[in-house]
Amino acid sequence: MPRHIVCLTFDFDTQSGFIARGMTTPTPLSRGEFGATTAAPRILKFLKERGIKATWFTPGFTIQSWPAESVAVADAGHEIGHHSWAHIPPANQTREEEEADLVRANESILKLTGRTARGYRSPSWDLSEHTIDLLIKHGFLYDTSLMGADYTPYRARRGDVAELGKPFRFGTPTDLIEMPISWSLDDYPHFEFVRTPQSVLASMQPPRAVMQAWLDEFLYMKKTVDWGVLTYTMHPFVIGRGSRMLALEWLTEQLGREGAVFMTMEQAALEAKQRLFG
């Protein structure tokens, strides 16, 4: 019987991503504050009204800086996923720095929820050559940082080798489940405005147009595969604006009419594990 899963995920960065990029003046930091104090309660109310359990990838920074807001997410029954401690991309860290950050963030999640995270999402979706090994070492079920498929989870590999002027060498598939993502299904590139000394990101797209594209992605999954998982990635300080929340409400209504099964990422990964490993 066809089954099409949708995972609503929220990267609960608050100020961490701005600090990691050196954007520590009051205005960018206030964007993260909006995400914690205004947008997160708004999103939690929206999810409760629709009976949807989501996954919130929450840095240790957020858990310790915004404890009441983090507790509210956990108490609402949503999955708390690992999203580093300080929002530094693993590709910018040594193995020792990456593992220390991984452990520190998991300690924060353990204190918040009573267990360590089952799933991991890297800051800026930029893994290092060590990340897969570290996730396996620390007992993770899944990663959701790679883009090697669209609707079909797959085994994450370790040991890929990419050298200029040489054929690509594929590494060894592991038991870590990769839940693929896409920048096109992330709210940040569509809606965010960021100005730095080096660049300007100005992508203020109409919310309804973006949500129509996100719905079309689900419709294509439904058309082409009997079983699949579609993951939407959102940030409270981005999606939590009023016009975007109205568009998100419209999207979930349409997805429901089309038969979408809403799950946390852990639930979807467990179902994928059964299909991958039997």
The CATH number covering residue 56 comes to 3.20.20.370
Q: Is the pLDDT assigned to residue 7 strictly greater than 90? A: yes
DSSP annotation string for 155-196: EEEE--B--TTS--B--EEEEEEE----GGGBHHHHH-EEE-
Instruction: Find the domain containing 159 and state its range.
Output: 3-277
- Residue 246's contacts (CB-CB under 8 Å, 6 or more residues apart) are 207
168-205 pLDDT tens trace: 999 999 999 999 999 999 999 999 987 777 767 777 89
86-110 pLDDT tens trace: 999 999 999 999 999 999 999 999 9
What is the distance, to the nearest Å, from the Cα of residue 40 to the centroid of all Cα atoms in its chain? 15
Distance CA 106, CA 56 (A): 14
The count of domains in the chain is 1
Residue 80's beta-bridge partner residues?
Answer: 56
Phi and psi at 257, nearest 5°, equal: -65, -30
- Residue 1's contacts (CB-CB under 8 Å, 6 or more residues apart) are none
Burial class (CB in 10 A: 0-12, 13-18, 19+), 17: buried
141-177 pLDDT tens trace: 999 999 999 999 999 999 999 999 999 999 999 999 9
Among candidate residues 138, 127, 227, 224, the one with its CA nearest the CA of residue 178: 127
